[in-house]
Amino acid sequence: MATPTCAAAVNVKSGLAQLRPFWILIVASAAPCLVLAAFSDRFTELLLGPAFAQSASVLALLAVGVIPTIFAQPVNMLLQVQNRDASIAVWSTIATLIRLAGAGTLGAFLGANGGAISVILQQVVLCVAIGFILRSAIRRGGEA
C-alpha cells in the first residue's frame, strides 16, 4: 500500500513524509502482539491445550520479537526503493547470521526460549542498522 507512494518520492526525506499517514496503522499493528505476549499462557492453553502450557513463554517472546519488524518494515521498504538496497541486504544477512548463531548458542542453554530470544536479537540488530542507514541518508540531504 505504501510502496508505490514511497517509490515515487524524490528522496528519503520526502518518502518519510509520505509514510506519515501509515504510522497509525503501524502502531495499531503492534497492539495485538502486546496482547498476545501478555496473555500467551491463555492463548497457548486455548490453542494447544494444557500439555503445552510450558511453551507460553516462547509465544510471548516471539510476539515481542515481531514488534521491531512492524516498525522497521516501512522504513526498510523506503530505503530499498531509494537505492539503499545493498546496505539493507548486507545488514539483513548479518542479522540473520546473528539469529542463527544465537539460536544455536542460546538454544543449547535455554531451549526454545533461546531460539525465540535470537529472533528478538535479529530484529533489534536490523532495526538499529536501518536507523543508521536512514540517518546517513537524511544527513546526505535525503538524496538517493
Q: How far is CA 113 from the centre of its chain?
A: 18
Give the DSSP H/E element, type plus range, for residue 25. helix 23-38
Residues present in the chain in total: 144
- Which grid cell sits at 20? 506519515
pLDDT, one tens digit for every residue, the chain (144 residues): 567 777 777 888 888 888 888 889 889 999 999 999 999 999 999 999 999 999 999 999 999 999 999 989 999 999 998 889 999 999 999 999 999 999 999 999 999 999 999 999 999 999 999 999 999 999 887 554
Q: Pick from 19, 18, 26, 14: which is nearest to 137 by CA?
A: 14
Q: Pick from 98, 92, 117: which is nearest to 107 by CA?
A: 117
Give the CA count within 13 Å in the CB-facing half-sphere of 65: 19
pLDDT of 35 reads: 96
| Counts of helices then strands in the chain (DSSP H, E) | 7, 0
**pTM of this structure:** 0.84
